[in-house]
Copies of this chain bind each other. A is one copy, B any other.
Amino acid sequence: MGGERIVTAAVLIIGDEILSGRTKDRNGGAIAEHLTSIGIRLKEVRVVPDDEAEICAAVNALRSRYDYLFTTGGIGPTHDDITADSIAKACGVTIDVDPRAEKLLAENYARRGLALTPARLRMARIPAGASLIVNPLSGAPGFRIGNVIVMAGVPEIMQAMLEAVTPELETGDKVLSITIAVDRPESEIADVFSAHQQRYRDVAMGSYPRMRDGKPVSDLVLRSANADHLSEAAETLKAALGV
């Protein structure tokens, strides 16, 4: 009968295009959903520009604080792709063309009848000591160094890399959730809801307002790793609200 097993993570989204508003990030939300489903708790997300000092500072702040750090973006073939080099610097290791990554790229380009040019070979630059994360879509791999998992920014490729790396992640107790949709504005359920939170301190309770057919709905979300407590808290809340 041990206590709750908690595994934490952060996400670092790297890219000027997100900060300019040109590209709307979808990776943060997709990683959040995936981590929740496998029992890893996402505690923080940051977005930083394609700037070595900014990437290094964020990588070091986040990898030391959480069990895992997932990064997206900046591992392509062009000059603005500086993630791999920045992470090598943050981790204090060298970086060079990795023979394993070169082989993956060479095979992928050969299959497509294309040459492995110097620009393409740039995508084989991997920090020393990292393991590779396969990319079934376009060949160029992601990598993992220590607790830092480095993935592409293109959502479809990021998703494939996230699935590829998942079997080797340590996971903790899953946070389960129950949502109770109440046809009343938040301000009308706030007192009952707050008293309920006081009563069940190990069940996190949040309220999220939305409109349905022009009328206010409050989604009351209860979350806990303890299925019994969660279920009891949800049933007693429904009774207290008469829903």
* A contact set with B: CB distance below 8 Å: 13, 15-26, 28-36, 41-50, 54, 76-80, 117-120, 122-123, 154, 175, 177, 186-191, 193-194, 197, 204-210, 221, 223
Contacts and interface: CB of A to CB of B under 8 A. Distances in A.
A34 B22 CA distance: 11
B46 A44 contact: yes
A82 to B, nearest CB: 11
A71 B197 CA distance: 25
A113 to B, nearest CB: 13
Contact of A205 (B80, B188, B191, B207): B80
A191 to B, nearest CB: 6
Given A24-B29, A28-B47, A79 B193 contact: yes
A21 B46 contact: no
A54 B50 CA distance: 25
Q: How many monomers of this chain does the complex have?
A: 2
Contacts of A18: 29, 32, 45
A25 B27 CA distance: 11
B29 A206 contact: no
28 contacts: A13-B45, A16-B204, A16-B223, A17-B206, A18-B29, A19-B32, A19-B44, A20-B36, A20-B177, A21-B32, A21-B33, A21-B36, A21-B42, A24-B26, A43-B49, A44-B54, A45-B46, A46-B47, A50-B206, A76-B186, A76-B207, A79-B190, A119-B186, A119-B187, A119-B188, A120-B187, A122-B190, A123-B187
Contacts of A221: 17, 22
A16 B206 contact: yes
Contacts of A21: 29-36, 42
Contacts of A50: 206
Nearest to A204: B16
